[in-house]
């Protein structure tokens, strides 16, 4: 199917600098506590943080078969991730035993009450490679990309998904949704979830009520790494335009799907591999081919710019890009509406 919807008048967007992510999951908790603690979406994380290389969340989301491919303006069906093998069920803990315990018996420690075989972050901090020569991993926080050409919207036969003209945020009208889950199959990022109690789809709303007041989304505002930038793509004074268009160091995840994601990533730089004598080589630990499998061919040019600007600061010169990425003042990370300032203390 060819995309029928017009581009929104403006597009709100987010940039995440992967060189600064701590993997602390504050973003995931901030989002979950605010928006989806209901029983039907207890398994779902509108925002999640993956250890890469890894299986991702839901499992194997970065594999073409799971995701489905969206090339040349065509929507193809991917897979519905299963609760046990894809998302992982929400774990039940033995809170009662722990509260009644003296703390002396290890069996009473807070732990899942059933055997857990898979779940979000099950492979956290594992990564790849062999210590000390080339072990490596990095964190990849993910949320809905509020795509310019949303596959979820295209796939919905009920016209229950729409893209707001004023800011490009993609929303589900749950009164119209009949829970067919075509959207879940179609989204290659697997960022739309089925609420199995209410039997409707649900997804990230880009913290719409906050954004309308000029306040950054919870996942961005709560991030202790100050690595998330929020603003409009056409605001040439804002961080998004500077990082995506001017410096071209922020690039989308899986551009090959052709959906025009509006979440961008500054790719991770990595230290060099060591040779058998423990000396540094010129080869980066994170293989370029792996980064390209995630971010496409724009990775190397982005890394080149980052390395050149970092070298400038090492020589004592100033770099607008490095100053922006360091985020000395958290207010500078968020520019949501001209004239409006972040109001949260």
**Which spans of this chain sit near ligand SF4 (rule: CB under 6 A)?**
21-27, 30-31, 35, 46-47, 49, 139, 141, 143-147, 150-152, 170, 187, 189, 191-192, 203-207, 217-219, 223-225, 227, 259
Among 234, 162, 267, CA closest to 13: 234
Residue nearer to ligand SF4 on the CB measure, 13 or 259:
259
CB of 119 to ligand SF4, least distance (A): 17
CB of 183 to ligand SF4, least distance (A): 7
Residue 136: both structure tokens together: 């490596």
* CB 120 within 8 Å of CB 106: no
CA-to-CA separations, 132 to 45, 54, 126, 135, 285, in angstroms, rounded: 34, 19, 14, 6, 11
Q: Partners of 200 in the beta sheet?
A: 195
Among 172, 142, 146, CA closest to 159: 172
Residue nearer to ligand SF4 on the CB measure, 147 or 324:
147
CB of 214 to ligand SF4, least distance (A): 14
Residue nearer to ligand SF4 on the CB measure, 30 or 240:
30
CB of 317 to ligand SF4, least distance (A): 28
Enumerate residues 6+ apart whose C-beta is below 8 A from 99.
Answer: none
CB of 26 to ligand SF4, least distance (A): 4
Helical pair 299-314 and 288-295, crossing angle rounded to 10 deg = 120
Residue nearer to ligand SF4 on the CB measure, 74 or 283:
74
* DSSP code at position 63: S
CB of 60 to ligand SF4, least distance (A): 16
Name the one residue in this structure whose structure tokens are 């489905």.
68
Residue nearer to ligand SF4 on the CB measure, 8 or 319:
8
CB of 268 to ligand SF4, least distance (A): 12
Residue nearer to ligand SF4 on the CB measure, 11 or 270:
11
Residue nearer to ligand SF4 on the CB measure, 13 or 244:
13
- How would you class 147 by CB atoms within 10 Å of its CB: exposed for 0-12, middle for 13-18, buried for 19 or more? buried
- How would you class 257 by CB atoms within 10 Å of its CB: exposed for 0-12, middle for 13-18, buried for 19 or more? buried
Residues 145 and 203: their CA atoms lie apart, in Å, by 11
* DSSP code at position 238: S
- The number of beta carbons lying within 10 Å of the beta carbon of residue 130 is 7
Residue nearer to ligand SF4 on the CB measure, 43 or 273:
43
CB of 140 to ligand SF4, least distance (A): 9
């Amino acid at each position: 199917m060819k995309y029928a919807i017009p581009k929104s008048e403006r597009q709100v967007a987010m940039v995440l600098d992967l060189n600064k992510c701590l993997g602390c999951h504050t973003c995931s908790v901030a989002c979950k506590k605010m928006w989806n603690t209901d029983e039907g979406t207890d398994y779902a994380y509108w925002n999640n943080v993956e250890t890469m290389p890894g299986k991702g969340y839901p499992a194997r989301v970065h594999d073409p078969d799971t995701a489905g491919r969206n090339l040349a303006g065509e929507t193809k069906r991917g897979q519905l991730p299963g609760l046990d093998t894809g998302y992982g069920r929400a774990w039940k803990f033995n809170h009662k035993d722990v509260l009644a315990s003296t703390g002396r018996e290890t069996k009473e420690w807070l732990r899942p009450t059933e055997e857990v075989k898979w779940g979000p972050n099950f492979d956290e901090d594992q990564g790849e490679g062999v210590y000390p020569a080339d072990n490596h991993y990095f964190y990849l926080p993910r949320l809905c990309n509020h795509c310019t050409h949303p596959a979820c919207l295209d796939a919905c036969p009920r016209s229950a998904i729409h893209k707001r003209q004023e800011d490009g945020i993609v929303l589900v009208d749950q009164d119209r949704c009949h829970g067919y889950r075509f959207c879940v199959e179609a989204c290659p990022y697997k960022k739309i979830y089925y609420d199995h109690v209410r039997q409707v789809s649900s997804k990230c709303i880009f913290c719409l009520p906050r954004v309308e007041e000029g306040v950054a989304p919870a996942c961005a505002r709560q991030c202790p790494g100050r690595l998330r930038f929020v603003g409009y793509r056409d605001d040439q004074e804002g961080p998004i335009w500077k990082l995506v268009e001017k410096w071209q160091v922020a690039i989308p995840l899986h551009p090959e799907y052709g959906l025009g994601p509006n979440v961008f990533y500054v790719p991770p730089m990595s230290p060099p591999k060591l040779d058998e004598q423990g000396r540094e080589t010129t080869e980066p630990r994170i293989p370029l081919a792996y980064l390209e499998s995630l971010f496409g061919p724009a990775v190397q040019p982005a890394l080149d710019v980052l390395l050149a600007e970092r070298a400038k600061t090492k020589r004592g010169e100033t770099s607008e890009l490095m100053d922006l990425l360091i985020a000395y003042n958290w207010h500078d990370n968020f520019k949501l509406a001209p004239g409006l300032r972040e109001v949260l203390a």
